[in-house]
Amino acid sequence: MSARSTLAAVLVLALAGCGGSDKPAPAKEKQAPAEEGAPVPKAATPENCMLKAGLESIEQQSKAWTAFHPDGYEVRVRRFGSPAAANQAVEAAPGIAEQANFFGVFAPVEDQANDAAASVAKCLRGF
């Protein structure tokens, strides 16, 4: 028996023992849309972090999210290809900007009193 055949046989035996159960995995439940006053989900996604920070009307386009603070200004989150790219964008941004791993969180100077951008970034760092 060749080395290739032996390796294939070992892999087949190993994979056969990894199944654990013949039962199919349970189907994942779909999340119901969030209702007003419902608890905010705990996953550190841009949408959830924006909700936790008190932002409203979240819109997503590709790798960017925009939400509005009740005071009338917008906070943006953008996912970059690397933490270094996010850091460069944050350093070059006008207004308030925070880095959270692959994300940059951007807000106008008006956010200084509310600190929504910092709240979103802190939440995303747990992602």
- pLDDT tens column, 38-77: 555 567 789 888 899 899 998 999 899 999 999 889 999 9
pLDDT above 90 covers a percentage of the chain that reads: 39
Residue 22's pLDDT band, with cuts at 50, 70 and 90, is very low
Instruction: For 39-107, give the DSSP string.
Output: PPP-S--HHHHHHHTT-EEEEEETTEEEEE-TTS-EEEEEE-SSHHHHHHHHHH-SSEEEEETTEEEEE
- Strands ordered across the beta sheet of 74-79: 56-61, 64-68, 74-79, 103-107, 96-100
- Enter the pTM of the model: 0.65
Residues 104 and 118: beta-carbon distance below 8 Å? no
Q: Please determine, for residue 10, whether its predicted confidence score (pLDDT) is greater than 50.
A: no
What pLDDT, on a 0 to 100 scale, did the predictor assign at position 125?
87
